[in-house]
Amino acid sequence: MASSSRTDAAAADPDPTPTRPTDIPAPIAVPRPKDHLHHLLDRRDTPRGTASPVMDGTAAAPAAKVEAKLVAGDAGYVLEDVPHVSDYLPNLPTYPNPLQDNPAYSVVKQYFVDPDDTVCQKIVVHKGGSRGNHFRRAGPRQRVYFESDDVHACIVTCGGLCPGLNTVIREIVCGLSDMYGVSKILGIQGGYRGFYARNTINLTPKSVNDIHKRGGTILGSSRGGHDTMKIVDSIQYRGINQVYVIGGDGSQRGAGVIFEEVRRRGLKVAVAGIPKTIDNDIPVIDKSFGFDSAVEEAQRAINAAHVEAGSAENGIGLVKLMGRYSGFIAHYATLASRDVDCCLIPESPFYLEGEGGLFKYIEKRLKENGHMVIVVAEGAGQKLIAENMKEMGQDASGNALLLDVGLWLSQKINEHFKKNKTTINLKYIDPTYMIRAIPSNASDNVYCTLLAHSVVHGAMAGYTGFTVGQVNGRHCYIPFYRITEKQNKVSITDRMWARLLSSTNQPSFLSKQDVEDAKVEDERAAKLLDGSPSNPKALR
């Protein structure tokens, strides 16, 4: 067990006889999850897409099989651990953690995370029930597997923009430099293809000093471009030994494939991820960075819609927010605003015509208040749009109108009231790209700092093939496959959604069958959460 004293790690030379440290517990012999949890895996949600190493038609090496790394304990305790470089390079030396000599940390009561510390995935348990899975707690270790002078790190940002990207970049650079004395840090420009198709830039604390005040990413970003062999060739050629990937589920899946190729080649390279999605649809973790900023900015659009609606006869303010498959931004922005009369999200079906439909509700609210505000997530009502595509018509060039739920819904509302000979004033606001491009707020800046420092501590300690995230308020290291296997979605059968319905006074639009189906889905997810390690096939 690691001591909190600085003097315990005072030795400056590598271990003369390298051994596996105590904070890397050896995996015990347990069946693979697919063998002893087949009854759960058979009912598991379909993964978020084919976990293929081939992206955008580019070539990639075959991915090795992903094995869950499990450590079992008493009372149903199961640690779902992350890989470590010593798993495939067993005779590596270790070094004292430079933090012990860092004056900024001299006031810290306990320098290093206890090697036995874990974070439980499920915080609420029933008497006699399973205690569920645990993840390895994030934080600095007493011994590290990389000497500071030998570290050559790189950072890459992939996918769409999100508030906080620059903050994460800044804090990885400053964490490596200020805490561990690392001086060689590269920024990969333009996403994954930047490893072999674009220039790199040197990153220093001075060069990233004020980038957290800007939106976007100073490294640039792109989707796709994942040629695994070329990426790992570039990593090997440049002598990079720490890779930090900031991106969504596709980017994290790509990072998992890169890790597998690195392991296959026997390279001492730590591959670590920081999950990014403005929609907050990554499972396991409490929330993704940038989400708080997005909700705060979304309220500005809602406030504008409310002012417009309240200033006109039968005014309707319609705001479209991000959320292709998960309606968290619309959900939380609605709860925070209290000016919204109706919130429509992908998880909750709705219909237009008839009793209990959206049109009847709009008529009721206009009669009562003289105005109303509607918030719709971009993925809501897609089945309705598809059914009505022929009615939507074509543009001036003869092209079919796009499946934009905001435009479609505004058109349908206008048509309905025109047919009923009722005058309305509808204003449609789409702030999508304004929200994506803002810098992160104070809450997200703090969160990004903690994520960045946690991922640096993990890589320096030799952990690899992991992503970092907050689970039940504690930061921990999570295997890649756990966050890429499915999506986090709003549960329309829990109290948070009930609070929204109570706030807006909108009908649920759900039939009895919809509610039953939702309950079955929630029960299935709960059973998986109760202790089943995730699908080891997720990265194949």
Please identify every residue annotated as catalytic: 279
CA pair distance 388, 263, nearest whole angstrom = 51
170, containing H or E segment: helix 165-174
Q: Long-range contacts for 83-87 (Cβ within 8 Å, ≥24 apart)?
A: 83/259, 83/263, 83/463, 83/464, 83/465, 83/466, 83/479, 84/24, 84/462, 84/463, 84/464, 85/145, 85/268, 85/269, 85/270, 85/462, 85/463, 85/464, 86/20, 86/24, 86/145, 86/462, 87/263
Helix count (H) and strand count (E) of the chain? 19, 17
Tell me the one-letter amino acid at 340.
V
Half-sphere exposure in the Cβ direction for 183 (13 Å, CA): 2
Q: Residue 74, exposed/middle/buried by CB under 10 A (0-12, 13-18, 19+)?
A: exposed
The whole-angstrom separation of Cα 361 and Cα 26 is: 60
Calculate the alpha carbon distances from 383 to 281, 346, 407, 540 in Å.
21, 10, 15, 31
